[in-house]
Structure formats: C-alpha cells, structure tokens
Amino acid sequence: MKIGILGLGLIGGSLGYDLRSQGHHVLGVSRRESTCERAMALGSVDVASVDMNLLAAAEVVFICTPIALIVPQLQQLIYHLPATTVVTDVGSVKAPIVKDIVPLWKNFIGGHPMAGTSDSGIEAAQHNLFVGRPYVLTPDETTPQTAMAVVEEIVRSLGANLYYCQPEQHDQAVSWISHLPVMVSASLIAACMGESDPAVLQLAQNLASSGFRDTSRVGGGNSELGLMMAQYNRQSLLSALQGYRHNLDEFINLIEQEDWVNLKSKLKSTGQARPKFVE
Amino acid sequence: MKIGILGLGLIGGSLGYDLRSQGHHVLGVSRRESTCERAMALGSVDVASVDMNLLAAAEVVFICTPIALIVPQLQQLIYHLPATTVVTDVGSVKAPIVKDIVPLWKNFIGGHPMAGTSDSGIEAAQHNLFVGRPYVLTPDETTPQTAMAVVEEIVRSLGANLYYCQPEQHDQAVSWISHLPVMVSASLIAACMGESDPAVLQLAQNLASSGFRDTSRVGGGNSELGLMMAQYNRQSLLSALQGYRHNLDEFINLIEQEDWVNLKSKLKSTGQARPKFVE
C-alpha cells in the first residue's frame, strides 16, 4: 500500500518506520528540506519531499503536524489528492479538528495515538512506538465505512489498542487524564515557588524527592503543549478544572474541620480508584 | 557504640543493618515478639526484645515508631534510660514532636530521614537506604551540643545528606514538597471519578497513561500516611493548600479569559522552576 505522512516528527517518523517494516511504500512530506533528507537517511520514509504533490499517489494520508497546522495543511493538501484518498490525523484534540475537516474532505476519520514521549522531532522517532498504547478513532455519522476500515487495519497492524468514540467524548476523556493533570501539576510548582521565606524555599528544594518529582513532572514540561491543550480543548478542560477545584475544596474543608474520619475515607477511595486508571 | 532502635519497621530495620555493618552493637525493641525474632534472624539487630529495658545500655536511641506513638513511647522509655542517653526520632513532622519531647528529655534532637519506600515493616528494611537521601536534624536553643554531635556523626556515616533547620521550617518545607502533593494528587483522582458520563469515564480509564500515572501516584497511596500528614502538620498543610488554590485559580482564570500570552508565560515559569526542586 502507498501511505503518505504529512509532518515528519516523532509521530510521523515513528509511523513511517513501522509501516515500511510491514512492506508499505511510505511517502513523507515536511515543510523543511533538511527534515526530508534526514527522514530518508534514517529510513523512516521511502521518499520525502517538501512538495505536497508527492502525496497524490498515496491511498491513505496521515496528517502528523502540530495541532495548529492540521486544518491549514489539509486545506492545501486536498488540491493534490484524488477524492478516493483516505485522510486521517493524529491530533491530541478531536472535536474542533473533525468539525473543520469534515466539510472539506469526505474520506476522513479523526485519530489520536496516545504515544508521546518527552522528545520530539524526526530524531526522536522510534520503531514500535505504538505497541500496547491506546489509539483512538473518532468516526461520526458522515465517516465512510471504507475510510474507517482502511485506517483501522493500519492502526491494528501497529500493535496499538484501538478505541472508538465520538470526538467530544475523546476530548472530555483526555481533559481528565491528560490535560487536567498538566494544570494540576503546574499549579503545584507555582504554589511552591510562592513560599515567601527564602530559607524554607531553599529547604523545600533540597528535600523534594520522588513524591514531588512525580506529581510535578507534567506541569514542568513543554509549555507549548500545555498551551495547546488549553486553547484547543478549553471547554472540557475548564469543566475538569471546576470538578477538580470542587474536590480540592472538599479536602481543604475536611482538614480545616479536622474531620479525620471522612478525610481518611476520601483518601481510601482515591487509593481504591487509581488502579482503574493505571493498571 | 551501643545504639538502640525503638520500632523495627522499614526505617528502624534499615538503620540497624547499616549501623551493624559499621561495627556498632544494635539493640532493638518492638512491641511484637515476632518482629523481634524476625529482626534478629534477618541480622538487622544484634539483639531484640519487647522489653524497653534492653535500651538502658544504649548510648543513643533512635525512636522509629509511627508518628502517633513517638511521644507515648518516649514517655515509657525514659524510665529505663540514664540521663546521659541521647534520644532522637525519625518522625516526618517535627514541631509537635519536638515541643512535646523537649520538656521530657533534655538530651534530645529531632530528626527526619527522607527515605521512605512504598513498602513498610521489617521485611522492607534494606541496607544503604539513606545513602544520598536528605536527613534533617532540627535542634533548638535547648539542644545539648553533645547530643547534636553524636547524632550528626551517625547520620553522616549513613551516607545521608544532612540538613539543619528549625522544626517549624522543616514542617513548612515538607508541607510544600511532600504533604501538599498528596492532597493535590488525591484531588485529581477524586475529580476524575466524578465524571458523570459512564462512557467518558470508561474511556478516561482506558486512555490514562504515564502523565496520569505520575500525577496520581502519591494521591493513590497509603491513606493512613495521608491522614497522619494532615493531623500532625495541619496548619502548614492548610497554608500550602491555600497557596495552591490561589495558583490553581490563576490558571483557571487565564484559561477562562483566553489569556494565552500569560498562560504560556506561567507554564514556562513552572517548567523553569521545577529543576530547582528535582535536579
């Protein structure tokens, strides 16, 4: 099969490795000539170009650009594609993307492989990145059965765990488990920075260990990514933040009231609930 | 040197291993006969007993019981000790412990080795647990120089990184980097559990990966420990929670106002601050 990849970063480059190793012919497009050359040298694509017309021959195209570029790039891309080409994207927010693309391209299904790493770019691309990781597809009532079948087969071949849902359900789910944690964790770092006694702040910095390390990790990450989550998933993230604030206030009240029985029971229930998410 | 350990769990047992391997004679006391036998069999102590009188021969005694038992156990212990015995504890909150013990025993210095693991009990004890980990000592104006010198030398011999501060400073510092993260993280789990659409909740559980895993870890841990932090460090924890809530509200406001410039700058500043705590 001839498969096109638009955007040769971590996700696009990793897709290329796996698809080539299955015998597909992989056509890559990047805005930068140097990235095209590097992707070919690394063997992540068979051929790469800065010219979107290269993708005219592809049966399926994966759009793997940063989220803000997905729709603008698709708007250019469609001038090069026959109507039969199936298009999918890998953006981490789905409702606004799907809403904008559906009127532009009939043969489209939204997707989101949850397989990021802290690194980015073609050099960070790796074989088998998607194995055992969730990969969400978000068809709606207009999605052609054939487009769904083609993308589903490719996703399964990557070894990913496939989930189907509506774009809005996806965005709500990731607001809880991916976007909310970033704001929760960033608020922790910001709060600690606010300690006004320099001796206590220095001591806190010296004593911080694994608990602080883990809880603060995603809040100390890429600020562009955090910003993108807030911009593209604003409404779901705000709902999640309000739910979070309500629970935080409950903890504060229990501690203020010295209601140790209910504090313990609330802590116990979070301990019991966590394995449903992470095991 | 003859060194006593009262409470043979993770910390007491680990202390015993290291002190014995340095050639000290280690006397252990536990409330349970079976723990005494196990500690001797494992080689964590030279001799162990349920009878506190065993510690009469010790030059230094480390109180390594759960925090709620430190003061009650010391009240019994002092009937067995000559006035020359140096006593220290390993409780994770210092101000209330130090305040209660100082009037009871002159030769005392508070301590806190920050070397927990998720396991507890004598079976979890290990050699070299304290190497490279912070160990805080909290002398006050009444602490005898000799008591300080004796405990300091032992702490250094464990390979720990020694810090001195006032008990209140310790409690404020750990409220930021240890106790606050537990409540922040537990609130995250509690909030996610509150999703009212069962399909979205199920999807969130399926999609949760490393970001949620790390941010929720300490909030899904031992509820007894979380409760203890709130009970014994209530005032500092409440101050930290109020500071946290203020920062959370700032994030919520920036997202509500779509103030992307300041959101990005706040996320960038948390990214820059984190390495001061964890690297």
Q: Dihedral angle at the C-alpha atoms of B173, B222, B238, B142, nearest 10 degrees?
A: -50
Name B222's Cβ contacts closer than 8 Å, sequence gap at least 6: A271, B118
**A186-206 confidence digits (pLDDT tens):** 999 999 999 999 999 999 999
Instruction: For B238, name the nearest residue in chain A, comparing CA atoms only.
Output: A252
Q: What pLDDT, on a 0 to 100 scale, did the predictor assign at position B115?
A: 85
Q: What pLDDT, on a 0 to 100 scale, did the predictor assign at position A150?
A: 97
Q: Which of B216, B238, B271 sits opposite A277 (nearest CB)?
A: B216
**B147-190 confidence digits (pLDDT tens):** 999 999 999 999 999 999 999 999 999 999 999 999 999 999 99
Q: Could you tell me where the DSSP H helices lie in A10-90?
A: 10-21, 33-42, 67-77
Q: How confident is the model at residue B40 (pLDDT cuts 50, 70, 90)?
A: very high
Above 80 in pLDDT, residue A118?
no
Cβ of B163 within 8 Å of Cβ of A219? The answer is no
Mutate to test the interface with B, among A119, A196, A206, A233 (most CBs of B within 10 A): A206
Above 80 in pLDDT, residue A267?
yes
Q: What pLDDT, on a 0 to 100 scale, did the predictor assign at position B112?
A: 97
**A126-154 confidence digits (pLDDT tens):** 999 999 999 999 999 999 999 999 999 99
Q: What pLDDT, on a 0 to 100 scale, did the predictor assign at position A222?
A: 87
Mean of all residue pLDDT scores within chain B: 96
Task: Write down all domains in chain A, each with its CATH number in brackets.
Answer: 2-165 (3.40.50.720), 169-278 (1.10.3660.10)
Name A35's Cβ contacts closer than 8 Å, sequence gap at least 6: A8, A48, A122
Above 90 in pLDDT, residue A245?
yes
Q: How far apart are alpha carbons B271 and B279 in whole angstroms?
A: 12
Longest dimension (CA), chain B: 68
Looking at the complex, report in whole angstroms how far the Cα of residue A49 sits from the nearest Cα belonging to chain B.
33
Mean of all residue pLDDT scores within chain A: 96
Mean pLDDT score, A231-248 = 98
Instruction: For A267, name the nearest residue in chain B, comparing CA atoms only.
Output: B223
Q: What pLDDT, on a 0 to 100 scale, did the predictor assign at position B120?
A: 83
DSSP string, B94-156: -HHHHHHHTTT-SSEEEEEE----S--SGGG--TTTTTTSEEEEE--TTS-HHHHHHHHHHHH
Q: What pLDDT, on a 0 to 100 scale, did the predictor assign at position A133?
A: 94
Asked if ipTM goes beyond 0.85, one says: yes
Looking at the complex, report in whole angstroms how far the Cα of residue B39 sits from the nearest Cα belonging to chain A.
28
Cβ of A194 within 8 Å of Cβ of B247? The answer is yes
The percentage of chain B sitting over the pLDDT mark of 70, rounded to a whole number, equals 99
Q: What pLDDT, on a 0 to 100 scale, did the predictor assign at position A116?
A: 72
Q: What pLDDT, on a 0 to 100 scale, did the predictor assign at position A73?
A: 97
Q: How far apart are alpha carbons B87 and B89 in whole angstroms?
A: 7
Cβ of A195 within 8 Å of Cβ of B172? The answer is yes
State the count of interchain CB pairs (< 8 A) between A and B.
Answer: 325
The percentage of chain A sitting over the pLDDT mark of 90, rounded to a whole number, equals 94
Mean pLDDT score, A76-105 = 97
For B198-206, the CB contacts below 8 A with 24+ separation are B199/A165, B199/A169, B200/A169, B200/A172, B200/A173, B200/A176, B203/A136, B203/A163, B203/A165, B203/A169, B203/A170, B203/A173, B204/A172, B204/A173, B204/A174, B204/A176, B204/A177, B204/A277, B205/A276, B205/A277, B206/A134, B206/A161, B206/A163
Above 90 in pLDDT, residue A115?
no
Cβ of B248 within 8 Å of Cβ of A187? The answer is yes
Q: Which of B172, B207, B227 sits opposite A114 (nearest CB)?
A: B207
Q: What pLDDT, on a 0 to 100 scale, did the predictor assign at position A119?
A: 76
Cβ of B199 within 8 Å of Cβ of A248? The answer is no
**A224-234 confidence digits (pLDDT tens):** 889 999 999 99
Q: What pLDDT, on a 0 to 100 scale, did the predictor assign at position A217?
A: 95
